[in-house]
Structure 1
Amino acid sequence: MKRIAYSLIASAVVLALTACDGDDGAQGIQGEQGVQGETGQAGSNGTNGTNGTNGTDGQNGTDGQNGADGQNGADGKDGINGGSGLVRIATVPTGSEVTGLFLTDQGDLFFNAQHPSDENTEVDSLNNRPFNTGTVGVLSGVNFNELPRNLVSAPLHETQFEAQTVVTAIGQYQILGQSGDTFAELGEQGLAGGLGVIYGMTSGQEIIKNDMPDFNGFIFESESSGYLFTNWEDYPGGMSRLKMSKSEAGRWSVDQAMMIDFDAVKGTAANCFGSVSPWGTPLTSEEWIVNSTVDSTTNPAWNAPVVDTRLQQFRDFLAPESPNPYRYGYIAEVKSPLSDKPVVEKHYTIGRYEHENAVVMPDRRTVYSSQDDTGGVLFKFVADNAEDLSSGTLYGAKLTQDKGLSDPAVTGFDIEWVEIATGTNAAILGWIEEYDGITPDSYVDGQTNYISMADVQAWVDGKETYPTAEEGGSPITAGKPMDDRVAFLEARQAARLKGATAEWRKLEGLAINHDRVLEAVTGQDVIEGEVVDKAYLYIGIADIDNTMIDGEGDIQLSSRVKDCGGVYRAHIDANYSLTRIEPVIMGSTYRSSLTSDVRCDASQLAQPDNVIVMRDGRILIGEDHSASWKYNNTLWMYDPKSK
């Protein structure tokens, strides 16, 4: 039998690190496609251009031959968005993934190169420094809210220089900061410890120089200045804040740098993606800190011997003794974010699991949160009061797959919401504190010091008391009156046993465009020049495999897409509730001629991580695929109107 007190987060680290028209067709429909006559030549070369069933829609193209085959000419490749609706906006340097996508109302696009290869040596003329450590940056010299629809893709890298730098289709990538930067030129406004560097709460010693910048969120102070918040995803986790200003030429400069102090909430772990709430506060997500496989024989307790160096770093950050695992795995809100000392509050109400991202709807009460895991759940939280996430009700999504369909490209799901429990931060924190002080000498073979599956089942069954130790219950609660701690501290298993679908695989970023959703739901004329009558939340799925293709449960898809993943959208109703999930765009696999490996097509989507919805409805998608595929990760732009 395994020692079930084996590290809760060590297991999570192992899991985490193992971390019909093209666009022109759609433009043809709009009648403005015709102006793309020259570009359409490529479309007219498509073999299905003139033969396509949609060819009659060419009446909407005004340029003769290009209009005639406009729709299916796009399928042949008529140049605008490559016939697939995809434009390669940028590729990031060797070894890195695209993280931190954030688009401001003024059109500034921020994104990061997370953990690039430390062997990268090439430098570009703008930045004059190599991309060999975690990099935070912005595309300068371009307004992403005013992009043309006939943008040409950036090329795949062919030279060492292209492979080791950021190659863009438009604008120039400007480095704002890299791991360890002190901004010494700013004097007392600099960061003596270095960007992304984390120090121990008790020792004051440097624990880790973090090279994994993830989420970015920008809050404007004026039209040309503001604050950039960046997550640093490791053990322990962190968040930096850069006060910045922009010149008339579109170049940014850093005026002040600091790391957010999370000591008041006992630190954070693996700060992954996030969002900025409608009331202007950053929300940061704790991801690979939780092992949600709760079971009386396999549930690992935190107090086991350390087998992972990152876990040791995290322990050193907190204190030599074992910390309480139930203090980690939540959404944390940075309040008064522009003050000298921002206040941080963890929202235990949204549940404890492997959070990738949380997005707040325009009602300022409804929150959707994704679980980046195998067998994950899509969660909804509805706050009791607007702009206050400290109390409310947690739900899990129950999916019903379209009958007779299994191909990921066409298969959707209807959604119903299963209520899990209602709680407050204060009450949940009280339960969490009961698990403080559990030390290694409390460890017993074959037992857990924490919540067991027997506890979860008893709660679901409506028992009046927790199971005794002989019945498989936890020693903390054995025989005590039942409460709702299970719902929030072991949210995945609670949701699963309540009937929610726990079968998502790598459920990644969630995104809306606030104004588009607001217009669709309320009818307000928010988006100038366009009538938005349908609202969607977009969902990135990095891997459509394992529990999504095992032929069991609520999700039973084919393995055609497999490791390439895809993007879904979920319809938002008048109550800001999701009612249906449908595929938007999927990756494409091929079998290598040199090996038997199935790989993802470099000209298509591969393992999307996070998504951003632009004001005009197009979406930005960042990739996080394996370096073994021999091409660098891409930042894509996709136009849903191309479909």
Structure 2
Amino acid sequence: MKRLKPTKLIAPALGLALLVPSLFPGVAQAEASKKIKSIEFIGMAAPVTAEDMAKAYSGASVHVTFTNGTVQNFPLSYKTLFKSNDVINGTPAGLAVDVYGKPIMDNSVPDKPVPYVSDGPDSNSLLSVKGAKKTELGGNPLSLLTHYEYITRDNAGQGAYGMIPASMSLSTIDQNKKNGELKVTNVKKVDFSAVGGLWIPCNGSLTPWNTHLSSEEYEADARAFEKDAKQTYVGSFTKHYYQDDNKVGNPYANGYIPEVTVHADNTTSVVKHYSMGRFSHELGKVAPDRRTVLFGDDGGNTMMFMYVADKTENLSAGTLFAAKWLQTSDKDGGAADLQWIKLGHASDSEIKTYIDKGIKFSDIFDTADKDTEGFTKIKTYPSGKNEWLKVKPGMEKAAAFMESRRYGAVLGATSEFNKMEGVTVNEKDKKLYIAMSYVEKSMEKDAKGEDPADHIQLPKMKSGATYELSLQGSQKDSSQAVINSNYVPATMKALIIGEDLAKADEKGNTAAVDKVANPDNISFSQNLRTLFIGEDSGMHANNFMWAYNVDTKKLSRIMSVPAGAEATGLQMVDDLNGFSYIMSNLQHPGDEMIIPEPLKSEVDSYINKFWDNKKAGSVGYISGLPSLAKLTGSNGNINNDNHNERKKGQVVVREVAEANGANLKWNQAERILTVTLNGKILSINTKTSEVTINGSKVQLQGKVALVNGRVLFPADIMDEFIKQ
């Protein structure tokens, strides 16, 4: 759910000014009794004791300074909503279920069958559903969708990653109306039977129209599967999901973006967007135009993709692009211009038809085993090996959307990114942030000259970097056709980089402990002007969550998770019913610890105590964040949800106009707002509700609304103006 930012966010060098009017001078100021001068995260130290190294906690705070000189401090704390193995209303939260919704049993220990329960909670989407029934606790009813990425080990202690179908839970949350505290009242599993189950869901995001975009990463290698099905997880996944040992499975059935809608009656519906391409989906993030989607592609030798939907708020058909890295610097994590290559256009139903027909890799590509005329040499995930491929006549669309990375490499896109993880958008500055967990291997210069291409040539930085990408309109693809989006990444540069250590310190850290190492989940707060970063590091003894102010450039550690655990499920929630949260999970505590002995054994004993012998992950949130609406004495309506306004048939004119590259002009004396886009002119008189497009009057069903310095306007007319 897209949270509306205040009417204007202005960031001076010394801090953050909030609730300052933009188009309508005096409106928001008159409603606010106080103004904020700056907001600063005061970081915490890394854990020192063995007990603290086994905990999930925050010792950070938020420092708010007002323009009148007063200061308020808000301590932060981490609160666990539930553990992944907690049984809530008869259901373990992380339970793996089959196509019938029944528990999938772990028979690894003879005569002691137990259900498979995940220790790997990941993505969260906390949302408010209009019309949802109130909980028995009397607070605001909220919904929480949570991924359970995998099961680390079976009951016998053997690795089970990817072999068991993944799952998602829908939790009913009660939000205390006085203090904002969240409590779980119910948990149930989301039904994926209509789309063939859920394959390794990693991160996810909330769309501006209040649905959840899930993910399926580490797609199975269809070429390897065709040669020997046992080389992939497809067989195990399929047999367990359908409870049928005769099921073979299809690698092309998974590796896409599922979209989940939560309804007012607490039911869910799920669709898979096959037209968004098949690759290692870390997550998809929708841009403010509600139709451009940017992705993370996890793994080695991966690719950067962009999807532009045909219609706003409808991801069932669109055009898929892949990026080519044109390097401009190799310093401090590197920089590049980006060129976009069009892979093709398709609808979900078109691609689903290929899958239903049982299409195979050999139906799409001819192959060779050496340099051969007519074949293109590529190297990409999932094989990670040099391949010589030629698309069979008429199979370009199947190649583009079912073998997106292989086809992209054939067309010249860069397939050298490494561990491309989280993606988030800074709407005001039109910036995209992408976490590259490890800048190494395929991102290094090819010293041996063996790779088919060598677009990215960077010094090795194992601790990784978070990159900033500029989002621009009027961009052309490699064929010089204009891309129909105002949110096309055009340049890319490292923003926050780690620091590798020459040797490990006394706790086993091989990356500087006061810098981010191996960024993974990221989320941006429009209100706080802060980028939040969670780690999945094999270089820090404990993984941390960080807050980075994009104006002051200050980096603050705000949370620590248990040694060997990954910080996951990061979602910044700005002013939901007057309260803000940083949703945060942890998975697989104590797994693959890098701490030296004897400290390791001491930490391990605490982890077993706190986390049920390493069988439990945690779903929770950081509480204590200040409510900006309450701090400024406003009526609390500054950050109403955009989807609620759109469901009422209205949109905020400034947000939609700016998202589509339009110019705005406000006549204070006449109270007229003028929007100009591609030679078209929309005039809105907020006093008389008279509206014209290119001088012609437009008949409105209702009046134009002016609320807290924002013009609310009929969505259908605004959409028609944009599309003309």
TM-score range, shorter chain: 0.5 to 0.7
Amino acid at match of 2:95: V
TM-score by length of 1: 0.63
Shift of 1:479: 7.8
Give matches, 1:130-169, under 5 Å. 149-168=39-58, 169=60
Give matches, 1:258-407, under 5 Å. 258-291=188-221, 299-301=223-225, 304=228, 306=230, 312-318=236-242, 319-320=244-245, 321-402=247-328, 405-407=329-331
Shift of 1:460: 9.4
Partners of 1:611 and 1:29 in 2: CA distance: 24
Question: Unpaired segments of 5 or more residues in structure 1?
Answer: 1-26, 34-145, 184-189, 439-447, 462-471, 521-533
Seen in structure 2, the aligned counterparts of structure 1 residues 154 and 493 have a Cα distance that, compared at 3 Å, is same
Return the match for 1:568 from 467, 471, 474. Answer: 467
Match of 2:7 in 1: none
Seen in structure 2, the aligned counterparts of structure 1 residues 547 and 171 have a Cα distance that, compared at 3 Å, is same
Contact 1:352–1:489 (CA under 8 A) maintained in structure 2: yes
Give matches, 1:519-534, under 5 Å. 520=428, 534=429
Give matches, 1:12-51, under 5 Å. 30-31=13-14
Amino acid at match of 2:190: I
Shift of 1:176: 1.0
Partners of 1:359 and 1:509 in 2: CA distance: 9
Return the match for 1:605 from 516, 521, 542. Answer: 516
Amino acid at match of 1:622: G
Contact 1:540–1:609 (CA under 8 A) maintained in structure 2: yes
Shift of 1:171: 2.0
1:430-453 residue CA offsets vs partner (Å, 9 max, x unmatched):
1111227x9xxxxxxxxx666445
Contact 1:460–1:498 (CA under 8 A) maintained in structure 2: no
Give matches, 1:169-208, under 5 Å. 169=60, 170-183=75-88, 190=89, 192-201=90-99, 204-207=102-105, 208=116
Contact 2:101–2:191 (CA under 8 A) maintained in structure 1: no
Match of 1:227, SS state, is: strand
Seen in structure 2, the aligned counterparts of structure 1 residues 478 and 159 have a Cα distance that, compared at 3 Å, is closer
Question: Unpaired segments of 5 or more residues in structure 2?
Answer: 1-9, 17-35, 61-74, 106-115, 131-138, 151-163, 377-386, 447-452, 474-485, 554-724
Contact 1:584–1:640 (CA under 8 A) maintained in structure 2: no
Return the match for 1:421 from 327, 344, 354. Answer: 344
Seen in structure 2, the aligned counterparts of structure 1 residues 182 and 387 have a Cα distance that, compared at 3 Å, is same
Seen in structure 2, the aligned counterparts of structure 1 residues 593 and 383 have a Cα distance that, compared at 3 Å, is closer
Amino acid at match of 1:265: V
Match of 1:85 in 2: none
Match of 1:484, SS state, is: helix
Partners of 1:303 and 1:621 in 2: CA distance: 40
Counterpart check, 1:490 vs 2:403:
yes
Match of 2:436 in 1: 541
Partners of 1:394 and 1:253 in 2: CA distance: 40
Partners of 2:233 and 2:399 in 1: CA distance: 30
Q: Identity over aligned residues, as a percent?
A: 26
Match of 1:419, SS state, is: strand
Return the match for 1:237 from 155, 162, 166. Answer: 166
Seen in structure 2, the aligned counterparts of structure 1 residues 213 and 450 have a Cα distance that, compared at 3 Å, is farther
Amino acid at match of 1:290: A
Shift of 1:608: 0.2
Partners of 1:312 and 1:608 in 2: CA distance: 31
Return the match for 1:226 from 134, 142, 158. Answer: 142
Shift of 1:232: 1.1
Match of 1:134 in 2: none
Match of 2:522, SS state, is: strand
Shift of 1:578: 1.2
Match of 1:180, SS state, is: coil
Shift of 1:614: 1.1
Return the match for 1:217 from 101, 107, 125. Answer: 125
Seen in structure 2, the aligned counterparts of structure 1 residues 337 and 591 have a Cα distance that, compared at 3 Å, is farther
Counterpart check, 1:633 vs 2:543:
yes
Seen in structure 2, the aligned counterparts of structure 1 residues 315 and 473 have a Cα distance that, compared at 3 Å, is farther
Amino acid at match of 2:308: V
Match of 1:61 in 2: none
Give matches, 1:51-200, under 5 Å. 149-168=39-58, 169=60, 170-183=75-88, 190=89, 192-200=90-98
Contact 1:303–1:322 (CA under 8 A) maintained in structure 2: no
TM-score by length of 2: 0.57
* Greater helix fraction, Structure 1 or Structure 2: 1
Seen in structure 2, the aligned counterparts of structure 1 residues 338 and 415 have a Cα distance that, compared at 3 Å, is farther
Give matches, 1:586-597, under 5 Å. 586-592=497-503
Contact 1:435–1:450 (CA under 8 A) maintained in structure 2: no
Give matches, 1:614-629, under 5 Å. 614-615=525-526, 616-626=528-538, 629=539
Contact 1:214–1:233 (CA under 8 A) maintained in structure 2: yes
Contact 1:154–1:167 (CA under 8 A) maintained in structure 2: no
Match of 1:209, SS state, is: coil
Seen in structure 2, the aligned counterparts of structure 1 residues 394 and 459 have a Cα distance that, compared at 3 Å, is farther
Shift of 1:249: 2.6
Partners of 2:373 and 2:533 in 1: CA distance: 42
Shift of 1:203: 9.1
Partners of 1:493 and 1:373 in 2: CA distance: 14
Partners of 1:148 and 1:333 in 2: CA distance: 37
* Greater strand fraction, Structure 1 or Structure 2: 2
Shift of 1:642: 3.3
The alignment yields a C-alpha RMSD, in angstroms, of: 3.3
Match of 2:199, SS state, is: coil
Seen in structure 2, the aligned counterparts of structure 1 residues 387 and 151 have a Cα distance that, compared at 3 Å, is closer
Partners of 1:182 and 1:196 in 2: CA distance: 9
Shift of 1:150: 4.1
Match of 1:316, SS state, is: helix
Seen in structure 2, the aligned counterparts of structure 1 residues 564 and 380 have a Cα distance that, compared at 3 Å, is same
* Count of paired positions: 444
Shift of 1:408: 3.2
> Which deviates the most, 219-228 or 610-619?
219-228
